[in-house]
Amino acid sequence: MKIHEYQAKEIFARYQLPVTKEILCFTPGEVCAAAEKLGYPAVVKAQVLTGGRGKAGGVKLVRSIDEARSAGEKILGMDIKEYKVDKVIVAEGVRFNAEFYVGLTIDRNSKSVILMASKEGGVEIEEVAKENPEAILKFVIDPDLGMAPFLARKIAFMLFDDFNLVKQGADIIEKLYRIFMDTDSSLVEINPLVITNDGNLLALDGKMNFDDNALFRQEAIAELNEPSEDEKKEIEAKDKGLTYIRLNGSIGCMVNGAGLAMATMDLIKLFGGEPANFLDIGGSSSPQKVIDAMNLLLSDQNVKVVMINIFGGITRCDDVARGLIAALDQLNVKVPIVVRLSGTNSKEGLEILKQANLPTVETMSQAAQKAISLCSNCNK
């Protein structure tokens, strides 16, 4: 689960981490009032659950009420990587002379929490890792010791030259680790952590992600969740007994069983196609599930072809076929469909599809290749 910058900084503030003064706004008028209250210069920042806000024009420095109004009007309502901006923060303008990065995440290799720090803050850490990996300091945290004070000081000494900054930095690192552990985070980062002109450290931006499996014991955190459109579809699918994850391809997949679903996507990739989703209808024989699954697939405008791959065990192929026919009767289906049925009652299911003049194939490979061919024709 992700939260917004302003929410992360509210959590930081509860642990006495130094953060900027800021006001949450929903209208251009509120932006103007906030800027007047905080004083100029101020910064108007889009609040969306994705990166790249600055490059997309979602962060503006303003020096007057007219600039504040203009920034509010431009940013509110804009789309950033398919996320619509419905709120912004107005933050105090800060003069600083250096930017740093400090973050904590889970390292799968060491199976431990890892702290990363860099003197190259202000840009995405992924870019630093790609272009200048030696600039990133990494420290695996011993779970028995946690963030021991001596380790926090060691890291701070590697980042800062001034002893006063070392003391501040060590304190921030210790508190950041405490936040990470207390909230069941999967990522906590300050980027940038700046040295202000008066010689203090300040978090200009904050980011937090959480372990979804731990939200049951983090009620206050769970209440902050704002599901994206894709996540809303995933929740809707779960309520209907489906497992759905949207991807970026154009071949919609409807499969029963997670393993078969993964194998289906692998085949599509192998033959040069791109799956639009992971969709497991499970082991039920309910035709309604097929209708719900088709409705979900067709709600994605990127889907050009639907590939149905069913291996009947508990799931009966004739029920899948009836559900598909019912879905075609109920829904305005304009995309071609490729069907492969095998297993329990497959003969009956194939006969139902034959009577409805729906083409079928015998193997997974044939289904994947046919879907890719149809998708290519749609793009011409």
| Residues annotated as part of the active site | 101, 189
How far, rounded to the nearest angstrom, does the alpha carbon of residue 131 sit from its chain's CA centroid? 24
Tokens found for residue 62 = 């303003």
Query: How many Å apart are CA 352 and CA 333, to the nearest integer?
Result: 18
Pairing of strands 185-196, 201-203: antiparallel
Query: How many Å apart are CA 342 and CA 359, to the nearest integer?
Result: 14
Q: Tell me which amino acid residue 136 is.
A: I
Query: How many Å apart are CA 194 and CA 313, to the nearest integer?
Result: 59
Q: Tell me which amino acid residue 273 is.
A: G
Q: Is the N-terminal amide bond of 41 cis, ω within 30° of 0?
A: yes
Query: How many Å apart are CA 20 and CA 41, to the nearest integer?
Result: 13
Tokens found for residue 252 = 């919609």
Decide: 327 and 288 in contact? Cβ < 8 Å. no
The count of other CB atoms within 10 Å of the CB of residue 143 is 10
